[in-house]
C-alpha cells in the first residue's frame, strides 16, 4: 500500500472507532472527514450498499485529496422484505435515534414468530484514491431479530441482532469479539488481506 494516511468517510464515532481498531495492523494514520473540516455528508442516492459506499468514498476523496474508505452497511430482515436495508441509518422518521429505530423494528415484527426472524448485517467497503480503480469488498453476518433489546455495547441495531451460535446479541459482545465476527469486521479483514499483498 502506498499511503501513510487513509480518511474514513463517516460521521459515526462508533464506526470510526471500529475501523481504528480493525485497521490498526496497517500502521497508517486513520483520519475522519471532520479532521479536514468537512462537515457535510455525501448524499446516499445509490440503490445498493455497494453504490452508496462508492458515492461516499468518491465524495471523501474529492473533499480531502487523500485516499478515502467509506462503507455502507445495514440490516436486512427477511420478514420485512429486506428492510431497513440501505435505509438502516434513516429508518422511520428523520428525527429518530437508534433506540427509536430499534423500537420501530420490534413493533413492525411483533407478530413474527422466532423461526421467521432471520436477518443479516451487510457491509460494503469502498476505497477510492489508493489504486487506479476503487477497491470494493463486502462482508456479512447472519443472525435473528430478538424479541427485546439486550446489551450496551456497539450502536445502531446491535441490541436486537441475536447471534444463535453465541446465544447473545451483538450489543453484549466486547469490541474485540465484535470486530472479529461482525459484517464490518468481515469486510475489513478482506480489505486488509488485499492491502497487505
- Among 195, 64, 74, 62, which Cα is nearest to 136's? 195
Catalytic residue among 35, 71, 72, 111: 72
Three-class SS string for the chain? CCCCEEEECCCCHHHHHHHHHHCHHHCCEEEEHHHHCCCCCCCCCCCCHHHHHHHHHHHHHHHHCCCEEEEEEEEEEHHHCCCEHHHHHHCCCCCCCHHHHHHHHHHHCCCCCHHHCEEEEEEEEEEECCCCCCEEEEEEEEEEECCCCCCCCCCCCHHHEEECCCCEEHHHCCHHHHHHHCHHHHHHHHHHHHHCC
> What does the block give as the cell for 117?
426472524
Q: Look up 111 and say whether it is catalytic.
A: no
Catalytic residues: 72
Amino acid at each position: 500500500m502506498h499511503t501513510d494516511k487513509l480518511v474514513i468517510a463517516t460521521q459515526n464515532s462508533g464506526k470510526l472507532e471500529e475501523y481504528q481498531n480493525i485497521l490498526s495492523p496497517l500502521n497508517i494514520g486513520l483520519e475522519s472527514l471532520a479532521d479536514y473540516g468537512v462537515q457535510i455528508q455525501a448524499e446516499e442516492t445509490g440503490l445498493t450498499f455497494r453504490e452508496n459506499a462508492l458515492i461516499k468514498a468518491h465524495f471523501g476523496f474529492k473533499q480531502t485529496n487523500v485516499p478515502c474508505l467509506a462503507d455502507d452497511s445495514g440490516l436486512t430482515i427477511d420478514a420485512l422484505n429486506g428492510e431497513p436495508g440501505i435505509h438502516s441509518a434513516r429508518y422511520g422518521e428523520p428525527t429518530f435515534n437508534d433506540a427509536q429505530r430499534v423500537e420501530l423494528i420490534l413493533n413492525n415484527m411483533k407478530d413474527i414468530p422466532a423461526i421467521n426472524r432471520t436477518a443479516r448485517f451487510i457491509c460494503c467497503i469502498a476505497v477510492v484514491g489508493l489504486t487506479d480503480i476503487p477497491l470494493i469488498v463486502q462482508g456479512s453476518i447472519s443472525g435473528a431479530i430478538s424479541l427485546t433489546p439486550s446489551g450496551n455495547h456497539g450502536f445502531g441495531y446491535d441490541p436486537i441482532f441475536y447471534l444463535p451460535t453465541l446465544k447473545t446479541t451483538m450489543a453484549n459482545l466486547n469490541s474485540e469479539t465484535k470486530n472479529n465476527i461482525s459484517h464490518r469486521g468481515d469486510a475489513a479483514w478482506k480489505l486488509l488481506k488485499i492491502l497487505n499483498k
